[in-house]
Amino acid sequence: MKDINILMIGVGGQGTVLSSDIVCDVALAGDADVKKSEIHGMAQRGGSVVSHVRIGAKVLSPVIPVGEADIVISFENMEFLRYPEYAGKNTSLVVNKYRIYPPSVAGGQETYPAEQTEETKKAFKEVFEIDAMKTATAIGNSKVAGMVMLGKLAALLPFDADLWRTVISKKVPPKTVDMNLAAFNAGYQF
């Protein structure tokens, strides 16, 4: 199988860690080797969270080399700007339109880098913009926005959608399975 490197970026509380865990389990169930490396600092406290997921026949380093991400998925609108080194000319970007204001922006000292975000999107091979928060709210719970994003990512990867659904059903709290699957399906069809 062709090696696939996915950089998953988000803000603490957005479900980035759970999503990357699901990708790992799907890859293993899909008979691939997989490694993930994560820096979640103090994620619960609103910090930046980043997971490197590498899938292939035999994965070595758990960290993606410079310029070698095939897909960058940003669970927040500007966060991908923080990790310029991993994206290259052939990288696809999946980005949530939803913005979470960093403290200095919320406090009014700095502005949200909206222009930079737009400008930098041009550096990618292709860009998928998802309004995950809107979709999730329509489904009935803003908390499943991350699952909408994961649905879109799944559509770009070579694993069967049902494999994803099985893994998700096992990984999320039992009461939330239906809601999460609905969010996943919405993202998958985006």
Partner 1 sequence: MKEVLSGNEAFARGAYEYGVKVVSSYPGTPSTEITEHVAQYDEIYSEWATNEKVALETVIGASLAGRRAMTCMKHVGLNVAADPLMTVSYTGVNGGLIIVVADDPNMFSSQNEQDSRHYARLAKVPMLEPADSQEAKDFIGIALEVSEKYCTPVLVRSCTRISHSKSVVALKARNTPPIFEPENDIKKWVMVPANARVRHKIVENRLDKLSDCADTGRLTINPVEFRSEEIGIICAGVTYHYVKEAMPEASILKLEMVYPICFEKIKRFAEKVKKLYVVEELDRFIENELKAAGIEVEPLNRSVCGELSVDEVRKLFGKSVREPAFDPRQLPARPPNMCPGCSHRGMFYAIAKLKLFAAGDIGCYTLGLLPPLSAINSTVCMGASIPMAHGMDKATDGALARKSVAVIGDSTFFHTGINGLLNSVYNAGTSTVIILDNSITGMTGHQPNPGTGCTIKGAPTQKINFPKLLEAMGVKNIRTVNPFDPDECIKVLKEETAKEELSVIVTDKPCIFADRSVIKPPFYVDVNNCSGCTICTRLGCPAILWNKEEKRAFIDETLCTGCELCVKVCRFNAIHQRG
Chain residues binding partner 1 by CB under 8 A are 11-12, 21, 24-25, 27-28, 33-48, 59-63, 65-68, 78-79, 81-82, 84-89, 91, 101-108, 110-113, 116, 120, 123-124, 142
List the structure tokens of 109.
């000292």
Closer to partner 1 by Cβ: residue 11 or 179? 11
Q: Give the shortest CB-185-to-partner 1 separation in angstroms.
A: 24
* Three-class SS state of 14: coil
Q: How far is the CB of 189 from partner 1 (least distance, A)?
A: 27
Distance of alpha carbon 174 from alpha carbon 159, whole angstroms: 23
> What's the CA gap between 28 and 80, in Å, rounded?
26
Distance (Å, whole) CA 165 – CA 176: 13
Cβ proximity to partner 1: between 34 and 147 the closer is 34
DSSP code at position 129 = E
What is the DSSP code (8-state) at residue 5?
Answer: E
Least CB distance to partner 1 at residue 91 (A): 6
Find the shortest distance in angstroms from Cβ 146 to partner 1.
Answer: 15
